[in-house]
Amino acid sequence: MEKFTKVTGVAAPMPLINIDTDMIIPKLFLKTIKRSGLGKNLFDEMRYDDAGEEIPDFVLNKPAYRNAEIIVAGDNFGCGSSREHAPWALLDFGIRVVISTSFADIFYSNCFKNGILPIILAQEDVDKLMDDAGRGANAILSVDLENQKITGPDGGEVSFEVDAFKKHCLLNGLDDIGLTMQKSDAIAAFEARNAAAMPWV
């Protein structure tokens, strides 16, 4: 998993509440177990019409936001079914940060396991960042995980809280497999002892 230290990029405003995982990546695209290739179908039903043409008014289809790395969203982002494809699709598109007043628990946890930083802020802070994100190509936010600060285009700062263990994992690029592999020497020693004690297993 790629380490997360600091992301500076365009923030896309998505003020809708209750953006669920089926909106993020519709069930039609859940046949793959690959983490790559899903970005083109991120928010598929909002991005494309029935003929597969882009809907110009959708925020990520607008020229200023096509390379967005941050989403500032309405309340309860990532609700619905617990599909891990949702953070896969966000990450494959290029999204590294999602800011909201609240997240569904499973989606929130899956973000950290896939290198995305979900940030929970008070409504007034989200409103301010949503306003910043409305500036199009000038909607540049800088998210500093180490210092737990978001810096807006005018230099204003917003602090955020994050669980210390989850922060450690993101800063060091550790997903569940990475955490396990940190114990590889101990695992190998156990396997050797186990094989010697029970060679018939």
DSSP string, the chain: ----SEEEEEEEEE--S--BHHHHS-GGGTT---SSS-GGGTTHHHHB-TTS-B-TTSGGGSGGGTT--EEEE-SSBTBSS--THHHHHHHHHT--EEEES-B-HHHHHHHHHTT-EEEE--HHHHHHHHHHHTTGGG-EEEEETTTTEEE-TTS-EEE----HHHHHHHHTT--HHHHHHTTHHHHHHHHHHHHHH-TT-
pLDDT at 139 over 80: yes
pLDDT at 191 over 80: no
Q: For residues 18 and 2, give the distance between their C-alpha atoms in angstroms, rounded to a whole number.
A: 28
Average pLDDT over residues 43-67: 96
The answer to whether residue 45 is domain-embedded is yes
The answer to whether residue 42 is domain-embedded is yes
The answer to whether residue 88 is domain-embedded is yes
User: For the range 120-124, what are the long-range contacts, defined as Cβ-Cβ under 8 Å and sequence gap of 24 or more?
Assistant: 120/160, 120/161, 121/158, 121/160
Cβ contact 21:78 at 8 Å: yes
Confidence label for 82 from pLDDT (cuts 50, 70 and 90): confident
CATH of the domain at 70: 3.20.19.10
The answer to whether residue 121 is domain-embedded is yes
Six-digit token string for 65: 């936001």
User: What's the pLDDT score for residue 12?
Assistant: 97
Q: For residues 62 and 17, give the distance between their C-alpha atoms in angstroms, rounded to a whole number.
A: 21
Q: Which domain holds residue 76?
A: 6-174
The answer to whether residue 190 is domain-embedded is no
Q: How many domains does the chain have?
A: 1
Q: Of residues 170 and 174, which shows the higher confidence score? A: 170
Average pLDDT over residues 135-161: 94
The answer to whether residue 200 is domain-embedded is no
The answer to whether residue 131 is domain-embedded is yes
pLDDT at 189 over 70: no
Q: Is the pTM of this model over 0.85?
A: yes
User: What's the pLDDT score for residue 17?
Assistant: 97
The answer to whether residue 183 is domain-embedded is no
CA distances from 184 to 170, 190, 191 (A): 20, 10, 10
